[in-house]
Amino acid sequence: MDQSPIARLLAALDRLDVDAAMALVAPDGRLLAVDGRRAEGSDAVRDLLADFITKLRSTTHEITAEWHQDDVWIAEVEATYELQDWLQIKALPRAFVLREGPDGFVDLRIYGAHEHPLTEHRTGAEGMRVGGRWIPPL
């Protein structure tokens, strides 16, 4: 049996290959990213995926569970990212819901818990909170 469309998409993303990912998208495909950004139509989906990939040195996704009913695929995924600034973010939980059409996926929604854009991370220069109290940086 062939891999699921989610597994094929994640394999393309793990290779940082926008063209391979776009080969899986229907011309009228829609994407909801984990950080709330939305894209509708293949050009907008390409732009969103390309923006995501340009922020990464590498990524890996592991499907931990997957279900399929009619034209809908659902997967629980653990995502690991290494950003361009070498920051590693490991084992982020994700839920993918994909609706498949004859020309590729027509709707993909990716969910996470309280997500911000990947590049929005603390540097330590802003201090930190310990026990509810702000501690200034050294």
* Helices first, then strands: H and E counts in the chain: 3, 8
Give pLDDT tens digits for 18-77.
999 999 999 999 999 988 899 999 999 999 999 999 999 999 999 999 999 999 999 999
Centroid of chain to Cα 68: 20
Would 44 be classed as within a structural domain?
A: yes
- Residue 127 to residue 43: CA distance in whole angstroms: 40
Would 103 be classed as within a structural domain?
A: yes
pLDDT at 121: 64
Would 37 be classed as within a structural domain?
A: yes
Q: Which domain does 112 fall in, by range?
A: 5-116
Would 86 be classed as within a structural domain?
A: yes
